[in-house]
Structure 1
Amino acid sequence: MQLTHYGHACVLVDTGTARILIDPGAFSTGFEGVTGLDAILVTHQHFDHVVPERLDAVRRANPSARLIVDSQTASELSLDAETVEPGRTLSVAGATVEVLGGDHAVIHPDIPVIRNNGYLVDGSLLHPGDAYTPVDRPIDTLLLPTGAPWLKAGDAVDYLRSIAPRIAVPIHEAVLADPALHYGLFTNLAPKGTAVVVADREKALDLKSG
């Protein structure tokens, strides 16, 4: 499996059979020219995870790719999309995608909580979206949210420890002036056996070797 990070929450997951783009949002770049996609997954409706105009560009470049979103995002986008909720398991070009989670993390009690899908690909790689999405089994790779209005660094460390993956790849970093400070915190406080690997932007990372 290979992972390419396009900044913030947007990643390309290549399982060897399927090419899956997740969260093509406003703070990410370089994904518009990606071709050969089998699916585009969106965790939730916030603009840093999906922008209709940029999504349209990806879909034009990948006309056969499935667009898979939560129900609230589907209504916001007004696009032809497959709606999925937690508990669903999908087959995408030979890969398995499990839908986890359900709700976005709380930003503030006065802000309504929206839907948020976490996606677990081939039982191996978890993109949690904007939540500390739990899993009930060991996973190999966690895409770890690094900075957000809803996120405290110490809570992110606790989430990392609760999942205890072999590899943690920091994402969702665009709101930070210096993400490296958080990367260092994750590295220093990661559980035994977990490697924190910062993916070079727009460069494929082989997850077998980390």
Structure 2
Amino acid sequence: MKSYNTPLGELKIELFGHAAVHFTINGKNWYLDPYCDVCSFEGKAPADFILITHDHYDHYDEEALVHIVQDHTILIVPPVVPRKHYNYEVLENGDSCTLDGVTITAVPAYNINNLNDQDQPFHPEGVGNGYILDLGGFKIYFAGDTEFIPFMKTLKDIDIAFLPKNLPYTMPDAEFVRAANTIKPAVLYPYHYFELNPKALRAEIDPQIKMVMNGHDY
């Protein structure tokens, strides 16, 4: 796990693969889009909070959730996610809430050019969420399944950004690089990728941005 100092205490981050992330803040366990195809969640730390970006099977995975959800666990979800027997905080794009001192803002995540067989976006605007977590001024941006969208041009002072890279659902290399160089996070985590050449991406990304892959800095 990589560690970072924040006003709320030590932040530790572990990227399991695909869009599945585990991180701890001040002793609390947070997960993003746990997905059992990339990691067995049996025996993982019980979740205090789980962020779900949208309802696709590789982001909202009941088989993963059953291993980490406890009676006290809160799931932060967009309205499109089925709500069954857990505790939920439902956020639409633009909504915010504060949990355990962390302010969570749901932000846009959608496709513009990438369309399915019905000529519809794989991820329509306003349906899924990205998330910005504000840890007392230290900001983490989880982009969700998205292309490079106008909202990204408004982002400032992002400490850590998770940006997706794969076709046809998110961004190709050139668009990923453009998004990273526009947002200019201090630290960049590529995620949601199948194949990735870290050296090639590193050559195109602003040298002031630290890129992390497989636990290593690039």
State the TM-score, normalized to the length of structure 2. 0.78
RMSD: 2.4
For structure 2, the residue ranges without an aligned partner over 5 or more in a row are 1-10
Work out the percentage of aligned pairs sharing the same amino acid: 24
Q: Name the residue aligned to 1:154.
A: 174
Matched, 1:101 2:108: yes
The aligned runs of 1:19-98 (5 Å cut-off) are 19-59=29-69, 62-74=70-82, 78-80=84-86, 81-98=88-105
SS in 1 for 2:92: coil
For structure 1, the residue ranges without an aligned partner over 5 or more in a row are none
Q: Distance in 2 between matches of 1:192 and 1:100?
A: 27
Counterpart of 1:92, as a letter, is L
Question: Alignment partner for residue 21 of structure 2, among 11, 17, 31?
Answer: 11
Aligned length: 194
Q: Name the residue aligned to 1:121.
A: 133
Q: Given the superposition, is the C-alpha separation of residues 33 and 111 from structure 1 closer, same or farther in structure 2, using an over 3 Å criterion?
A: farther
Q: Distance in 2 between matches of 1:139 and 1:78?
A: 34
SS in 1 for 2:68: helix
Q: What is the Cα deviation at residue 96 of structure 1?
A: 1.7
Counterpart of 1:199, as a letter, is N
Task: Specify which structure has the bigger relative contact order, considering alpha-carbon pairs within 8 angstroms and separated by 6 or more residues.
Answer: 1
Q: Given the superposition, is the C-alpha separation of residues 27 and 172 from structure 1 closer, same or farther in structure 2, using an over 3 Å criterion?
A: farther
Q: What is the Cα deviation at residue 160 of structure 1?
A: 0.6
- Between Structure 1 and Structure 2, the one with more strand by share is 2
Q: Distance in 2 between matches of 1:40 and 1:82?
A: 10
Q: Given the superposition, is the C-alpha separation of residues 160 and 187 from structure 1 closer, same or farther in structure 2, using an over 3 Å criterion?
A: same
State the TM-score, normalized to the length of structure 1. 0.81
Cα pair 2:22 2:30 within 8 Å, conserved: yes
